[in-house]
Amino acid sequence: MPIQIILEKCTGCTLCIKACPFDAIRMMDKLESSGLASSSQSQKKAVIDLNKCNLCGACVPVCKLKAILLETEKASCILPDIKGYKGVWVFVEQKNGKVQSVAYELLGKAQELARKLNCQVSGVLIGNNMDDQLDELIWRGADNIYLVEAAELANFQDEPYTNILVKLVQKYKPEIFLCGATAIGRSLISRVAINIKAGLTADCTGLDIDPDKKILLQTRPAFGGNIMATIISPNYRPQMATVRHKVMQPMEPDKRRKGKIIKENFGPNIYASRTKLIDIVEEIESLVNIAEADIIVSGGRGMVGAENFKILEELAHVIGAAVGASRAAVDSGWMPYSHQVGQTGRTVAPKIYIACGISGQIQHLVGMQSSKIIVAINKDPDAPIFKVATYGVVGDLFQIVPALSKKFKETLRK
């Protein structure tokens, strides 16, 4: 048992119940908890519900009688040898033979991390006939490219891609492995992590290197976005993280950069898959791909109703923007989910983000605060959105937005 109560020591003081954040401990009669037949002496003892307990250990130090035994990771397993792991790797996602921009963003970040670790950056590219994409990867940060090509690998498939990445990690032992938090990336890298018994921090918004310990600091919103948690993975390698599209900045291409191509072939058995790719269907969502837009006009609860989004659509039409929305607007059914910006929607980083009637809660901000220019229109001068805004307009959006459309129409016509 990973955690247990020593019934002989427990006095039923209930301190552990108060300390447990998961409501996993309760008091029971000693006889009930030990499964023994009844006796005249009945005393309450703590009992842990293992279905609720996540072994966080919060109950252990509060027990003054040392009646709770938690088997720590160090005691229960031998930690793997992490010596010899070196280099920062990036999974290079491709679709239809074209490298996706999230890979360039990750290579840019990987270069920054590698400089602090004094090591190299490698891209891992799986596909078919990818030669025309290799230079750009090197110009944008890859020192090496591990290239695995075959007709069977032209399109992403979970099992073959996972098997290849596992083999590559086992052979070359990277210290850090980054992947885009895209539909493909999320599906793939979690499978890789479980196979190589490494940890994985999903949806990081910040990555850095601890200057003393030289380990990866992986920052991401936690507890519904109310805090930013920095997560470390000191005992396992590689340290693995996913990062959403548009969170990191790509490097400017440097055509003088030189890199090494390392071709790998693991034989036909690696292509085996329990699933079969039948067809690739263009996403309808891509029609409103706010993640790629240069300008976004977004509306929140302050829009009051679905019909009012037409004033945002008009402004968007005039200035060539896409329309985004806060979760409050999406949850109210005023806009489809594909337009939602934020922690549980899209992460965007346009040149201009115009937030109309959006208060600026942290879950919204994490999805748009990398925008170059943020314009906030809100009638509440204390709205948190103004803290991140480049330009703030305090006022009624129903007057300001139509006035902006009118002015832009006049100006752009000239």
Ligand X SMILES: Cc1cc2nc3c(=O)[nH]c(=O)nc-3n(C[C@H](O)[C@H](O)[C@H](O)COP(=O)(O)OP(=O)(O)OC[C@H]3O[C@@H](n4cnc5c(N)ncnc54)[C@H](O)[C@@H]3O)c2cc1C
Give Cα 108 distance to the centre of its chain. Answer: 17
Residue 312 CB, nearest approach to ligand X (Å): 12
Near ligand X by CB under 6 A: residue from 32, 398, 408, 409:
398
Is 237 or 244 the residue whose CB approaches ligand X more closely?
A: 244
Confirm or reject binding of residue 343 to ligand X (CB under 6 A): yes
Residues 6+ apart with CB under 8 A from 382: none
Residue 358 CB, nearest approach to ligand X (Å): 4
The three-point CA angle 104-107-112 to 5° equals 135
Is 144 or 359 the residue whose CB approaches ligand X more closely?
A: 359
Is 173 or 301 the residue whose CB approaches ligand X more closely?
A: 301
For ligand X (CB under 6 A), the number of binding residues is 30
Is 174 or 300 the residue whose CB approaches ligand X more closely?
A: 300
List the x/- string, 346-385, binding to ligand X by CB under 6 A. Answer: -----------xxx-x-xx--x---------xxxx--x--
Return the range that interacts with ligand X (CB under 6 A); candidates 108-116, 138-146, 201-209, 296-304. Answer: 296-304
Residue 278 CB, nearest approach to ligand X (Å): 32
Place of tokens 């290579």: 107
Strand partners, 340: 325
Residue 4 CB, nearest approach to ligand X (Å): 34
Is 82 or 388 the residue whose CB approaches ligand X more closely?
A: 388
In angstroms, the CA 235 to CA 239 distance is 9
> Other C-beta atoms within 10 Å of 50: how many?
13
In angstroms, the CA 198 to CA 217 distance is 15
Return the range that interacts with ligand X (CB under 6 A); candidates 211-219, 266-274, 277-285, 300-308. Answer: 300-308
In angstroms, the CA 343 to CA 202 distance is 12
Return the range that interacts with ligand X (CB under 6 A); candidates 38-46, 91-99, 194-202, 342-350. Answer: 342-350
Confirm or reject binding of residue 301 to ligand X (CB under 6 A): yes
Near ligand X by CB under 6 A: residue from 123, 185, 345, 392:
345
Q: Are 202 and 180 in contact (CB under 8 A)?
A: no
Give Cα 195 distance to the centre of its chain. Answer: 20
Return the range that interacts with ligand X (CB under 6 A); candidates 106-114, 150-158, 197-205, 392-400. Answer: 392-400
List the x/- string, 313-332, binding to ligand X by CB under 6 A. Answer: -------------xxxx---
Give Cα 100 distance to the centre of its chain. Answer: 17
**Residue-level length of the chain:** 414
Q: In what order do the strands lie in the sheet with 176-180?
A: 200-204, 239-243, 176-180, 88-92, 121-127, 144-149, 260-263
Contacts of ligand X in 112-171 (CB under 6 A): none
In angstroms, the CA 255 to CA 138 distance is 8
Confirm or reject binding of residue 396 to ligand X (CB under 6 A): yes
Is 84 or 381 the residue whose CB approaches ligand X more closely?
A: 381
Q: Are 181 and 220 in contact (CB under 8 A)?
A: no
Residue 338 CB, nearest approach to ligand X (Å): 12
Phi, psi for residue 94 in degrees, rounded to 5: -130, 145
Residue 353 CB, nearest approach to ligand X (Å): 12
List the x/- string, 214-233, binding to ligand X by CB under 6 A. Answer: ----------xx--------
Is 248 or 365 the residue whose CB approaches ligand X more closely?
A: 365
Residue 341 CB, nearest approach to ligand X (Å): 6
Q: DSSP states of 23-91 as a string?
A: --EEEEEHHHHHTPPP-S---EEEEE-TTT-----THHHH-TT--EEE--HHHHSPPPP-TT---EEEE
Is 73 or 396 the residue whose CB approaches ligand X more closely?
A: 396
Please provide the distance, in angstroms rounded to a whole number, between the alpha carbons at the two ends of the chain: 76
Residue 92 CB, nearest approach to ligand X (Å): 27
Residue 324 CB, nearest approach to ligand X (Å): 9
- Classified as helix, coil or strand, 151 is helix
Task: Please state whether the peptide bond connecting residue 402 to the residue before it is cis, i.e. omega within 30 degrees of 0.
Answer: no
Residues that bind ligand X (CB under 6 A): 224-225, 300-302, 326-329, 340-345, 357-359, 361, 363-364, 367, 377-380, 383, 396-398
